[in-house]
Structure 1
C-alpha cells in the first residue's frame, strides 16, 4: 500500500490515535520521505451515526492497527458511505489506484509462497521500510466502475489484492452495511498461493484508508460500526 507525509507526517505516523467510531491503538502510516499531504481522519456524527470521517485530497496515509501476536480473525463488519470520490479511479491502473474508502487486512504469509520475482521485490522493499511489510494484504474497496465481488491485483504489487464491494454507482447519501467472511475472501484473492489444507493465517494489521494521490482528486467518506472477531 502506498503512503505520504506533510511537514509533521513522521510525528503523526508515530503517534497512537483514538477515534470514537473505531477505538484506540491506531497510527497513520507514511511512505519513506513522503512529501504529499496526509489523508485526514476525524470523529464525526453523520446521519445520526458515530463515524470515522475520511477525507482525501491528493493525499495518502492509511490508519493502521497492528497486532503482535497475530490475531485469528474470521469475520469483519462495518457500515460506510461515500459522498464524493474521484471520477478516474481504476484499481487496475497505477494512475487510477485510489479509493474514497477501503478496509484492508495484512496476514502472516510465508515468503516461500510468493513467486521468485515477488520474493526479491519484497526483500528490497523491506530493506527500505521501517514497517513490517506483509506478503499478503487484502482490501475491501469502494471502487470506480469495477465489477463487484471480483479479486483485483494491485497495479503496483501483487502482494496487495482488492475486492470491490461498492463502486461509483453507490456514491451518495445511502449507508451500506458489509459483513465479510475473511478467510473466504482471502481464498478468493490469494487462493493461487494458499495450498489446500494449509492453516488459516493470522491477521497482523488492519488498515482503514482513503487515498487520492494517484488521481489527484478529492474524496469524502465515513465508516461506522466497525468490528471484527
Structure 2
C-alpha cells in the first residue's frame, strides 16, 4: 500500500514505493529525450524497479505531500550495474547519471519558482559534493551520494535528512515536499546505463 497523505501522531513511515504490487500505475513518466525503460523485476530475492537507458532521459514521477517536520528522513536502496564514462558531470554535456532521486518543491506562483534537490550516483564528483544543475541553475541542487569508488552490482541503502539538506542548500526552512522522481539518463553522453531502485520511504529518524 501507499500512504501518501496520512500521518498519525507517532509519525509512522511514509512509503513511496511498493514495487511488490507489480504495478507502476501511480507513477507518471516524463520524457526529456526518448524513453528510459522502467519495469518491475525480481532481483536478489526481492521485487525492485529496473531502469535501462540507451541515449535516453525520462523519469518516473509521483505527486505526494510530505511534511518534513514529521518525517524528515528520506530512505532508499539502489544499485548500478555499470558506470558511465563522463569527464565533467557538472556541465550540460555531462549531466547524465546512472541513478538519481529528485525531491520537488512546487512554487506558490508557478512552475518557474519550483525547487528541487537531487541525490545522484555521481560519476566522478566526491561523496557529499553539491552543485547547481547546469540546465536550471541553483533552483535545482545536485548532491553526490555515491561516486565512482563505490561498487557496481551491489545494493546500498541511504538515509538523508532532507529538512537539513534543504536548509543548507536553499538557505531557508522548507516544510513540505510535493513530489518525488526517479531518473536514469544517458541522453547527453549517448551511453547506456542499468540501475535498480527499491524501498523508498520517509521516516521520523
Query: 1-side partners of 2:92 and 2:197: how far apart?
Result: 25
- The structural deviation recorded for 1:165 is 0.4
Of the three residues 154, 163, 175, the one matched with 1:183 is 163
**Are the equivalent residues in 2 in contact too, given 1:109–1:135 (CA < 8 A)?**
yes
What RMSD, in angstroms, separates the aligned Cα atoms of the two structures?
2.2
Corresponding residue number in structure 1 for 2:12: none
SS where residue 178 of structure 2 aligns? strand
* Secondary structure, aligned partner of 1:189: helix
Quote the Cα distance in structure 1 between the aligned partners of 2:154 and 2:31. 31
Instruction: Give 1:90 shift.
Output: 3.3
Quote the offset at 1:134 in angstroms.
Answer: 5.2
Distance 1:77 1:134, change over 3 A: farther
Deviation at 1:19, TM superposition (A): 4.1
Map of 1:27 onto structure 2: 28
Aligned 8 A contact 2:76 2:157 in 1: yes
SS at match of 1:187: helix
Q: Secondary structure at the match of 2:136?
A: coil
Other structure's SS at 1:104 match: strand
How does the TM-score come out when normalised to structure 2? 0.80
In the TM superposition, structure 1's runs of 4+ consecutive aligned residues that sit over 4 Å from their partners are 21-24
| Equivalent position SS for 2:125 | coil
Deviates more, 1:135-144 or 1:22-31: 22-31
- Give the one of 183, 186, 204 matched to 1:209: 183
Structure 2: distance between partners of 1:134 and 1:71? 19
The answer to whether the 8 A contact 1:19-1:42 is kept is: no
* 8 Å Cα contact 2:19-2:198 kept in structure 1: no
Q: Count the aligned residue pairs.
A: 181
After superposition, the Cα gap between the structure-2 partners of 1:180 and 1:23, relative to the gap in structure 1 and judged at 3 Å, is: farther
Partner of 1:165 in structure 2?
145
Q: How does 1:58-97 map to 2 (within 5 A)?
A: 58-67=55-64, 70-73=65-68, 74-88=72-86, 90-97=88-95
Q: CA deviation at 1:85?
A: 2.8
Does the 8 A contact of 2:19 with 2:47 survive in 1? no
Question: Structure 2: which 5+ runs fail to align?
Answer: 1-17
How much has 1:206 moved relative to structure 2? 0.3
- Structure 1 residue 152: deviation in Å? 1.1
- Give the equivalent residue in structure 2 for 1:145: 124
